[in-house]
Amino acid sequence: MFKKKDIQYSIDTLNIEKNNLVIIGWANSENPSELVKISVTDFQGNPISCRIDHMMRNDVAIARYNRIMEEPFGFKLSFQYAKKECYFLKLYNNKDSVTVKLSRQYIWLDNTLKRVASSLQSGKLYSAVSKKPMSYNQWFRETAPNSHDLAKQKMYVFQGKTPTFSIVIPLYKTPTSFLNDLILSILAQTYSRFEVCFADGSPAENKLDTCVKQMSHNDPRFHYKFIGENKGISGNTNEAVKMSSGDFIILCDHDDTLAPNALFEFAKEISNDAECDAIYSDEDKIDGSGKKHFEPHFKPDFNVDLLSSTNYICHLFGVRRTLVEKYGAFDSAYDGAQDYDFILRMTEHARKIIHVSKILYHWRTHAQSTSSNPESKMYAFDAGAHAIEAHYRRVWPNIKIDHVDNGISLGIYRTHFLFDQYPLISVIIPNMDHTEDLDKVLHSVINQTTWKNLEFIIIENNSKLTQTFEYYKKIEKEFSQVHVIKYEGDFNYSKINNFGVKQAHGNYLLFMNNDVEMIEPSSIQEMIGYCQRNDVGIVGCRLLYEDDTIQHAGVVIGVKGIAGHVFNGCPSDNATYFNRAMTAQDYSAVTAAVMLMKRDVFNQIHGFDENFAVAFNDIDLCLRTRAINKLVVYTPYACFHHYESKSRGYEDTYEKQLRFVSEIKLFLQKWKEIVLNGDPYYNPNLTVHSNDYAIRNLYVERIGGSYYGKHYIHDILTKTPEEIVVHPSKNETE
Let me know whether 311 and 252 are in one domain.
yes
Q: How many CB atoms lie under 10 A from the CB of residue 652?
A: 9
In a domain, 151, yes or no: no
Q: Are 180 and 208 in contact (CB under 8 A)?
A: no
Q: Which pLDDT tens digit goes with each residue over 20-71? A: 888 888 888 888 888 889 999 887 788 999 988 887 776 677 667 766 676 7
Residue-wise pLDDT for 484-540, tens only, equals 999 998 889 999 999 999 999 999 999 999 999 999 999 999 999 999 999 999 999
Provide the phi-psi class of 354: left if phi over 0, else alpha when psi is between -120 and 50, else beta.
beta
Taking the C-alpha atoms of residue 192 and residue 165, their distance in angstroms, rounded to an integer, is 9
Q: What is the 3-state secondary structure (H, E, C) of 337-358?
A: CHHHHHHHHHHHHCCEEEEEEE
Cβ atoms 578, 567 nearer than 8 A:
no
pLDDT at 450: 96
**Pairing, β 248-251 against β 165-171:** parallel
Residues 230 and 322 in one domain: yes
Considering all CA atoms of the chain, what is the largest pairwise distance in Å, rounded to the nearest integer?
Answer: 89
**Of 352, 378, 395, which residue constitutes the final position of a domain?**
395
User: How many angstroms separate the CA atoms of 250 and 238, rounded?
Assistant: 13
Please check whether residue 628 lies inside any domain of the structure.
yes
Residues 129 and 208 in one domain: no
pLDDT of 54 reads 84
pLDDT at 732: 37
Question: 0.85 cut: is pTM over it?
Answer: no
Residue 219 CB partners (closer than 8 Å, separation 6+)? 187
Q: Do the Cβ atoms of 315 and 253 come closer than 8 Å?
A: yes
454 and 374 fall within a common domain: no
Task: For the chain, list residues with pLDDT below 70.
Answer: 1-5, 12-18, 58-59, 62-63, 66-68, 70, 83-84, 103-133, 366-377, 573-574, 645-653, 699-712, 725-734
Q: Tell me, yes or no, whether 429 and 386 share the same domain.
A: no
Q: Which of 648, 668, 685 is the last residue of a domain?
A: 648
Q: Are residues 123 and 166 in the same domain?
A: no
How far CA 607 is from CA of 68, 456, 488, 601, 612, in Å, comes to 29, 19, 19, 8, 12
CB-neighbour burial class of residue 406 (10 A; exposed 0-12, middle 13-18, buried 19+): middle
Q: Count up the domains in the chain and report the number.
A: 3
Q: Judge if 117 and 208 occupy the same domain.
A: no
What is residue 566's predicted lDDT score, i.e. its pLDDT?
A: 93
Give the amino acid at 91: L
- Rounded CA separation 277/261 (Å): 20
Helix or strand (DSSP H, E) at 21: strand 20-29
Classify residue 563: in a domain, yes or no.
Answer: no
What confidence score (pLDDT) does residue 370 get?
A: 54
325 within domain boundaries: yes
Structural domain contains residue 406: no
Q: DSSP letter for 145, please.
A: -
Q: Are residues 229 and 176 in the same domain?
A: yes
Residue 293's CATH number: 3.90.550.10
Return the number of other C-beta atoms located less than 10 Å from residue 490's C-beta. Answer: 10
CATH number, domain with residue 30: 2.60.40.10
164 and 218 fall within a common domain: yes
Residue 730 belongs to some domain of the structure: no
Residues 171 and 211 in one domain: yes
pLDDT of residue 151: 96
Name 688's Cβ contacts closer than 8 Å, sequence gap at least 6: 558, 559, 560, 561, 696, 706, 708, 709
Is the residue at 669 inside a domain?
no
Residue 339 in domain = yes
* pLDDT computed for residue 662 by the predictor: 86
In whole angstroms, how large is the CA radius of gyration of the chain? Answer: 28
Same domain, 91 and 183: no
- Whole domain around residue 490: which residue ranges? 425-554+589-648
Looking at the structure, tell me whether residues 124 and 167 fall in a common domain.
no
Q: Could you tell me which residues come within 8 angstroms of residue 6 by beta carbon, excluding any fewer than 6 positions away? A: 29, 30, 93, 95, 96
